[in-house]
Amino acid sequence: MFSSLSKTLLVLAAALGVNAAQSTLQQQTGNWGSNPTGVGFYYYKPPNLPVNPALIVAIHYCTGTAQAYFTGTNYANLADTYKYIVIYPDAPDSGGCWDVHTTATLTHNGGGDSIAIANMVRYAISNWGVDSGRVFMTGTSSGAMMTNVLAGAYPDLFQAGAAFAGVPYGCFAGPDMWNTPCATGQITKTAQQWGDQARSGYPGYTGARPKLQIWQGTLDTTLNYHNFAEGVKQWTNVFGYSGTASQVQQNSPLSGWTRSIYGPNFQAISAAGVDHNIPVQANDVLNWFGITGGGSNPPTTTTGPTTTVPPTTSPTTTSNGAAQTQWGQCGGIGWTGPTTCAAPYTCHALNSYYSQCY
């Protein structure tokens, strides 16, 4: 059942990137909180951390590991510049997938894999001085599903999230680790039903909820693109927004990608022609979190077709021959943007569809 998924996600691992962080991934052992399923607790702390740093929980895909997501994404590299901590949970399942289906994991303090991740955050706040007002989550595939789970079950712990190629909160609910009807896009609910399901993760909770981005490729067949529209229904209902986007940005953040903004707390980015192996846009995520660019405020937007360029420490990019910034795309099938990198970076081909400056 998992063979085709595993093959797809091995390609996904190759597409994510290459890590060049200054320090190494560390493991937290000992008693750091309830961990009924045996989730591994790994973290990255860059040199010269400030007092009360921000925290990002970065959650790997099926077949992945904490080490693979540390190596394959740029959150640790960017932590060297922006001085935040990254926690990389490690799934206990033999296939590397997260428990996003049990009632325990879908319920606040109910158990499952999610309570372990919540307790990692609580430990970091209590023992590392993490700013409880700057705690964020992101993940890919199964990690994106867990991002949605945490948004529903632990809205009190996180201020924002970004989910790459996931499914709505509760879509995988059921007795089995893999939910074929959800994965193949056969589950359709009303916005109210999806919203009620997300709210059921923490009954009676009336506080602020983490703002959320969802990202998905239009050619995703591993977790069918139908789930993107269902996710829009869910989170627009949770935030009380119209199901029609108030603003749409074309070619944002990459050529052919469309960012639909429903309000300050929710946006959905559709990647035309991209399959399940969606490239993680870490710079954009950091801007959404307020770590770069707009501080703690939601990103500012404009109406009509625009192109959003995530802030970096390198020169601005254009498609007219200017150099691409660090971590930006510089090639691949269908790419029409810059193909050279700003000094001292060079363009590396990660797969046929994605090359990156580093």
Residue 227 CA: distances (Å) to CA of 149, 156, 209, 217, 265:
15, 25, 21, 11, 19
Q: To which H or E segment does residue 24 belong? A: none
Backbone angles phi, psi at 354, to 5 degrees: -150, 120
Say if residues 158 and 151 touch (Cβ distance below 8 Å). yes
3-class state of residue 250 by DSSP? strand
Q: Give tens-digit pLDDT for 96-135.
A: 999 999 999 999 999 999 999 999 999 999 999 999 999 9
Residue 326 CA: distances (Å) to CA of 4, 71, 149, 310, 342:
33, 16, 32, 11, 7
Among residues 350, 311, 15, the alpha carbon closest in space to that of 164 is found at 15
3-class state of residue 30 by DSSP? coil
- Helices then strands, each counted (H, E), the chain: 9, 13
pTM of the model: 0.80
* Cβ atoms within 10 Å of 175's Cβ, excluding its own: 7
Helix spans in the chain (H): 3-16, 66-72, 75-82, 112-128, 142-153, 180-183, 191-199, 226-239, 282-289
Sign of CA dihedral 99, 284, 254, 236: positive
The per-residue DSSP string of 334-347 comes to: T--S--SB-TT--E
Reply yes or no on whether 260 is catalytic. no
Q: Which residue has the tokens 């989910």?
A: 163
- What does each of the 358 residues of the chain score in pLDDT, given as a tens digit? 344 454 444 444 444 445 557 779 999 999 999 999 999 999 999 999 999 999 999 999 999 999 999 999 999 999 999 999 999 999 999 999 999 999 999 999 999 999 999 999 999 999 999 999 999 999 999 999 999 999 999 999 999 999 999 999 999 999 999 999 999 999 999 999 999 999 999 999 999 999 999 999 999 999 999 999 999 999 999 999 999 999 999 999 999 999 999 999 999 999 999 999 999 999 999 999 999 975 434 333 322 222 222 322 223 333 345 676 655 556 665 556 678 887 877 786 644 444 556 5
Q: Exactly one of 114, 126, 132, 141 is catalytic; name it.
A: 141
Backbone angles phi, psi at 9, to 5 degrees: -80, -20
